[in-house]
Amino acid sequence: MSRVMPMKENEQRKPTSLRVRLLTTVLLCWVLPVLLMMGIANYLLASNFERSMRQQMQISAENAMEKLDLRLENLFTSSKSISYDGEVRSAYRSYEQDGDSAALYQRVMDYLTLHFTRTDAIPATFLSFRELPSLHPYVTNRSNYGYAVQRDYRDAVEAELLERMAEEDTRIVFTAHNGELYLARNLLNSKFEPYAMAVLLCDREQLFQSLDALRPLSDATLVIDESLVLRPDGSLQTLEAGESVAAGDLQYAFERDGHTIRLSVALHRFSLWTDTPQLRFWMLAVQLLALPLLLVVLLVFHHSVTKPMETLSEANARLQGGERGFQITEKASSKEFAALYEQYNETSRVLKNQFERSYQEQQALQEAKMKALQSQINPHFLNNTLEVINWEARLAGNERVSAMIEALSTMMDATLNRDGRSMIPLREELVYTDAYLLIIRERLGDRLEVRREIDESLLELPVPRLILQPIAENAVEYDITPNRGGVLLLRARREGENMLLEVEHSGRMSKEDEKTIRELLSSPAERSGHFGLRNVVQRLRLLYGERASLQIVQKDESTVLARACFPL
């Protein structure tokens, strides 16, 4: 199916947003009738609404109380575990024997960190020793609970709680301050005397989360031990002496470890109509009106959504059928589909380029394999011959010749590429480079100084095979050898998402050298000479495209820098 390009004036007109079209259609064709129908339905169902709401609220309130009971049980269990574990009591006994308060503080902090920094329901945990008022172990699992929470506890909560808990045994006590809920419990020694107090700061949002389901249709008030009250607005307050909470429409209560939790639910009152004249007329009118409006919505949806989707589906089918690079030329009816069309066209272009590039790479790979096969004239014979010569050198005690033969064998293994790997770890690439430099060092002796600055975190990352050795060879052949020596620095480092392999060496490029290098790097296939560098440039372009580069520049008057950059 062919697509005809629209007129120029249509190209300049910006498409209307699909969201605006649908919203306008829904407002005109659906929202007004639905609101009218909802008003009539609300009028008809007025008598049943309050009863249904009461039943639903009863179920929700019962579920909320069950969940609250379960969360309180978990909090109580966490507070009791401090006594049952015995770690704090053991640490305190050690302190009574050696008087080392620092060791006591460290052991307690380790215990609290291990057991109370993984529970979201307890943002902070405090421990107060009666005989050590200056020792304040404290842990928190919230990044926003810092020194201010600890200071608030020490300044306004700790003293009051210690005084209040003096007459308690192991009974849990609730208290509130600045809208925060604290749970306190004494720790007893072997004489059943309180020596410390554990205080848990409760996460109110998690603890009372089950009450959120009651708030849209009611005011839920929670009373704890007739002393603390959680108001419908979420504020937590302490009841004054003689103050009480008014009873609501629904009342629920339960006890947990001697604590009474009472819930009072006041249902919202609604003013509903009491008369329904002409009800059937309006219901029928709305239904008759909805039919043509539904047809309008369907037509708009077809033009704005269905038809553009068919265009995308057809284009995708043609792309899958082999028409790589196929472009959608039809004008989109909305901004959203215009963006989708553009994204599809861009994807199709990229896919075509990638396919063509992959085809070129396959051709280049096949050609390289043919050249490699032509160059491999009985490699096993050559390796075996080198091994025989190596043993003869060893038997003759000529270690220098033996080392050079082993380095040459390593270089042959790298060039033959028997395992067919085009990518090898950087560590292996450095082995091949070192083998070449060993041979060169035997020729130049101490006049060649080799240095290395290698980021060891990159050693196992893959790099193209024989990417560094040809660059080092170029430096040796064109600068270091003619100058009868120099310094050669091998460097491997990370820069963002790229790997940089650098060879910095003694040398100076003439104007003619710089021109030759520029021409070589810009069009390596058309240049003669510098075979190693040409090979490096071509392989980088085949593997990475424009994301890779090779640069050779005069760093200063006596130093040349060659840098290969490619993605990690």
Q: Which domain holds residue 455?
A: 446-567
Domain boundary residue among 206, 240, 268?
268
Is 425 within a domain?
A: no
Is 309 within a domain?
A: yes
Mean pLDDT, rounded, of the chain? 78
Tens of pLDDT, residue by residue over 261-273, are: 888 888 776 554 4
- Find the CATH number of the domain harbouring 507: 3.30.565.10
Q: Are residues 211 and 291 in the same domain?
A: no
Q: Are residues 111 and 28 in the same domain?
A: no
Strand duo 448-454 + 486-495: pairing: parallel
How high is the pLDDT of residue 538?
83
Is 374 within a domain?
A: no
Q: Are residues 148 and 23 in the same domain?
A: no
Measure CA 459 to chain center.
26
Q: Model confidence at 502, in pLDDT bands (50, 70, 90)? A: very high
Is 403 within a domain?
A: no
Please report, for residues 5, 311, 544, the alpha-carbon distance to residue 9 in angstroms, rounded to integers and kept in the order given.
Answer: 12, 22, 42
In this predicted structure, the answer to whether residue 440 has a pLDDT above a threshold of 80 is yes
Secondary structure class of 230 (helix, strand, coil)? strand
Residues 336, 308: contact at Cβ < 8 Å?
Answer: no
Strand duo 218-224 + 173-177: pairing: unpaired
Q: Are residues 38 and 120 in the same domain?
A: no
pLDDT average, residue stretch 502-508: 88
- Enumerate residues 6+ apart whose C-beta is below 8 A from 441: 448, 450
How high is the pLDDT of residue 499?
92
Domain boundary residue among 203, 235, 268?
268
Burial class (CB in 10 A: 0-12, 13-18, 19+), 485: middle
How high is the pLDDT of residue 43?
57
Residues 110, 156: contact at Cβ < 8 Å?
Answer: no
Residues 506, 427: contact at Cβ < 8 Å?
Answer: no
Least confident of 108-122, 164-178, 283-297, 438-452: 283-297
Q: Model confidence at 563, in pLDDT bands (50, 70, 90)? A: very high
Tens of pLDDT, residue by residue over 165-202, are: 888 888 888 888 888 889 999 998 888 889 999 999 88
Angle subtended by helix axes 87-98 and 46-85, to nearest 10: 40
Entry pTM: 0.43
Is 412 within a domain?
A: no
* 11-18 contacts, C-beta under 8 A, 24 or more apart: 11/331, 14/335, 15/331, 15/332, 15/333, 15/334, 15/335, 15/337, 15/338, 16/333, 16/334, 16/335, 17/334, 17/335, 17/336, 18/304, 18/305, 18/333, 18/334, 18/335, 18/336, 18/337
Give ∠ CA 515-518-520 in degrees, rounded to 5: 105
Secondary structure class of 277 (helix, strand, coil)? coil
Q: Model confidence at 500, in pLDDT bands (50, 70, 90)? A: very high
Q: Are residues 238 and 313 in the same domain?
A: no
Q: Model confidence at 209, in pLDDT bands (50, 70, 90)? A: confident
The domain tally of the chain equals 3
Q: Are residues 227 and 293 in the same domain?
A: no
Q: Model confidence at 107, in pLDDT bands (50, 70, 90)? A: very high
Q: Are residues 37 and 109 in the same domain?
A: no
Locate 11 and state its tokens.
Answer: 């190209």
Tens of pLDDT, residue by residue over 409-438, are: 666 665 655 566 778 899 988 888 888 888
Residues pairing with 487 in the sheet: 449
Q: Are residues 461 and 540 in the same domain?
A: yes
Q: Are residues 30 and 136 in the same domain?
A: no
Tens of pLDDT, residue by residue over 125-157, are: 999 898 888 888 988 887 776 677 888 888 888
Q: Which residue has the higher pLDDT, 124 or 46?
A: 124
How high is the pLDDT of residue 417?
58
Residues 217, 57: contact at Cβ < 8 Å?
Answer: yes
Tens of pLDDT, residue by residue over 24-47, are: 766 666 666 666 666 666 655 556
Residues 486, 506: contact at Cβ < 8 Å?
Answer: yes
pLDDT average, residue stretch 375-392: 54
- Find the CATH number of the domain harbouring 233: 3.30.450.20
Tens of pLDDT, residue by residue over 215-248, are: 777 788 888 888 888 887 878 888 877 777 777 7
Is 165 within a domain?
A: yes
Q: Could you tell me if residue 469 is left (phi over 0), alpha (psi between -120 and 50 degrees) or otherwise beta?
A: alpha
**Could you give the CA distance from residue 252 to residue 222 in angstroms, rounded to a whole number?**
10
Buried b (16+ CB within 10 A) or exposed e, 166-203: eeeeeebbbbbbeebbbbbbbbeeeeeebbbbbbbbbb
How high is the pLDDT of residue 511?
83
Buried b (16+ CB within 10 A) or exposed e, 306-341: eebeebeeebeeebeeeebebebebbbbbebbbebb
How high is the pLDDT of residue 235?
83
Is 9 within a domain?
A: no
Q: Are residues 146 and 36 in the same domain?
A: no
How high is the pLDDT of residue 544?
85
Q: Are residues 291 and 236 in the same domain?
A: no
Residues 450, 441: contact at Cβ < 8 Å?
Answer: yes
Q: Model confidence at 401, in pLDDT bands (50, 70, 90)? A: low
How high is the pLDDT of residue 64?
85
Q: Are residues 302 and 226 in the same domain?
A: no
**Could you give the CA distance from residue 371 to residue 191 in angstroms, rounded to a whole number?**
92
Locate 111 and state its tokens.
Answer: 């215990």
In this predicted structure, the answer to whether residue 290 has a pLDDT above a threshold of 80 is no
**Could you give the CA distance from residue 282 to residue 41 in angstroms, rounded to a whole number?**
11
Is 546 within a domain?
A: yes
